[in-house]
Amino acid sequence: MDNFFWNNLAQFQDSVALMEESKEITYAQLDKMAREISSHMKERSLVFCICKNTIGAVAGYVGFLQKRIVPVMLSHTIDRTLYENLVNIYKPQFIWCPNDFADNLPLYEKENYKLIETGTQEPAMDEELAVMLTTSGSTGSPKFVRQTYINIQSNTEAIVEYLGIIPEDRAITTLPMNYTYGLSIVQSHLMAGARLVLTEKSFFDRGFWDFFKESQATTFGAVPYTYQMLDKLRFLQMDLPSLRYITQAGGRLGEELHYKFGLGMRQKGKALVVMYGATEATARMSYVPADKAVEKAGSIGIAIPGGHFELIDVDGSVIHEPDQVGELVYYGPNVTLGYAESREDLNKGDERKGRLETGDMAKRDKDGFYYVVGRKKRFLKIYGNRVNLVEVEDLFSKEGFETACVGEDDHMLIYTTSNESDKLVEFISSKTGLNRTAFSVKHIDEIPHNESGKVLYSQLPVN
Amino acid sequence: MTNLEKYNQAFCETFQLENPDFDALQYMGIEQWDSVGHMSLVAALEDAFDIMMDTDDIIDFSSYAKGKEILKKYEVEI
């Protein structure tokens, strides 16, 4: 289709598309670069795209979309054992990676990125399949979400519309591109003809704030944990004249911080937009309009344009009354095809048909605003990453540790029969790439099980 | 406990270190001292010395040695 935004980037001509600390690239240049990169691959190739917030990564990604090459989006900091495992499972034909990521001789090089050809054959892939993104990438499972071209186009259109992104916007990167939220910021700003300010630096780097001011950034996104960092940095007292609004996703911000930042931003004549989503819904499902940030603090808001929610009670019927808790189900063109766990799965078709069971328990107030109140499934959000507790227990089990993992967002509590608590923390921290402070270990003599061998989480000792 | 002991303890507990080479510790120098670790360290130091650090000081707190200088501003002599 000609109206996919990635095919029309050249229309923005000499507007700056991408900015690094010492370099700027216009839309015309980006379009040309993207086409040059993809010219070395055939349509419907499978490529591992090793992401870093740089010109090379963005240009590569755009080129893949344009030529219908399917990228598997991975972080440049990925654990090497996990990476090798993924290469063995998916057998990509190409790797597009930073020059220093691998020693292999490149087929082609551009912007400190190189293209490596592996010599494998092209896999059978569903025609609609556009991009593969991890959900719980942090636990290293080979599970990816299969997103289509229509998923990306429709969700990006909705985001541009409800956030009101304008060509004058300049989004500074604060999240990785292999993470759905980070990628949605890249996509929505390209669609709007706005500017991406690319950096790998964090809020705790002076260089980040220097570049923020120099580039006159107008917006960025952050996850709950980074809002705590911003709070610690007294962000609301900072003088950032170019800033227009900030967004939040990647887990529950909590009513207190939602209110504090909503009010603080409003008092400065700026805005906070809290959003809710999932990789399985491409990126976004709902948002709290900025003018409701204070009044509806703690809410996940209303469905995005083109989508809608339903709440389903335990009997499977739809809840119509306000303030009743049920499972949150989302409908929209951004609901993805399903998961892939192997190379064969790339050829699977649509398993969801536009309907996504979120696994979150929620209620709706009388004004139609939704509130997440709990979870149906066993996972935690740690620093914005969904971490599946079952997968973590499996990882431990393969290492010979018997564990039962519980906890709250940003903090996992690992019950274990092992005495090597340091080893457990070191292992899981390196596998997930999450800081050790996210994990604590409690030794117990025995993990309580029922007769069929299921762990009785309710009988674990209270910490 | 002396201020130095408190200061060292904050690093050891936050980053789960035993007898480290303190003077070599710097932001992004070890795996544990990333942005998440940095926030935990600042929180631990604020608790230990009952202070509230300014934005610039949190950002400039780039090493064990630099931190000692910064804490002087808050009348914490190490």
The rounded distance, in Å, linking the Cα atoms of A425 and A443 is: 13
In-domain check, residue B78: no
What residues of chain A score a pLDDT lower than 50? none
Which residue, among B11, B16, B27, B35, would best test binding to A if mutated, counting the most A CBs under 10 Å from its CB? B35
Give the pair of three-digit tokens for residue A83: 């990476």
- Tell me if A435 and B43 make a contact (CB, 8 A cut-off): no
pLDDT at A451: 77
- Say which of A209, A430, A437 has its CB closest to residue B40: A437
In-domain check, residue B18: yes
- Say which of A234, A237, A383 has its CB closest to residue B36: A383
pLDDT at A431: 86
In-domain check, residue B27: yes
The shortest C-alpha distance from A413 to chain B (Å) reads 16
Residue of B nearest to A226 (CA): B36
Residue of B nearest to A231 (CA): B55
- Tell me if B39 and A202 make a contact (CB, 8 A cut-off): no
pLDDT at A136: 58
In-domain check, residue B46: yes
Domains along the sequence of chain A with CATH: 5-371 (3.40.50.12780), 379-459 (3.30.300.30)
Structural domain including B39 reads 3-72
Residue of B nearest to A228 (CA): B39
So what's the ipTM on this one? 0.83
Strands (DSSP E) contained in A251-325 are: 271-277, 284-287, 302-303, 308-312
In-domain check, residue B54: yes
pLDDT at A196: 98
What's the structural domain count of chain B?
1
Q: What CATH number does the domain containing B45 carry?
A: 1.10.1200.10
pLDDT at A1: 54
In-domain check, residue B63: yes
pLDDT at A377: 80
Sequence-separated contacts (24+) of A160-163 with Cβ below 8 Å: A160/A188, A160/A191, A160/A192, A161/A305, A162/A287, A162/A289, A162/A304, A162/A305, A163/A188, A163/A245, A163/A247, A163/A273, A163/A287
pLDDT at A455: 87
pLDDT at A342: 96
A138-162 burial, b if ≥16 CB within 10 A, otherwise e? Answer: bbbbbbbbbbbbebbbbbbbbbbeb
Which residue, among B39, B46, B51, would best test binding to A if mutated, counting the most A CBs under 10 Å from its CB? B39
pLDDT tens readout for residues A386-423: 888 988 998 898 899 999 999 988 999 999 999 999 99
Chain B residues touching residue A225 (CB < 8 angstroms): 36
pLDDT at A2: 62
pLDDT at A345: 98
Any bridge partners for residue A96, and if so which?
Answer: A49, A115
- Say which of B14, B31, B39 has its CB closest to residue A229: B39
Residues of A with CB under 8 A from a CB of B: 202-206, 209, 225, 228-229, 232-235, 237-238, 383, 422, 425, 429-430, 434-438
- Say which of A232, A422, A435 has its CB closest to residue B37: A435
In-domain check, residue B45: yes
pLDDT at A35: 98
Helix (H, G, I), strand (E, B) or coil at A249: coil
- Tell me if B60 and A237 make a contact (CB, 8 A cut-off): no
Q: Name which of A59, A304, A281 is nearest A160 in CA terms.
A: A304
Give the pair of three-digit tokens for residue A85: 């495992």
In-domain check, residue B77: no
- Say which of A228, A234, A429 has its CB closest to residue B55: A234
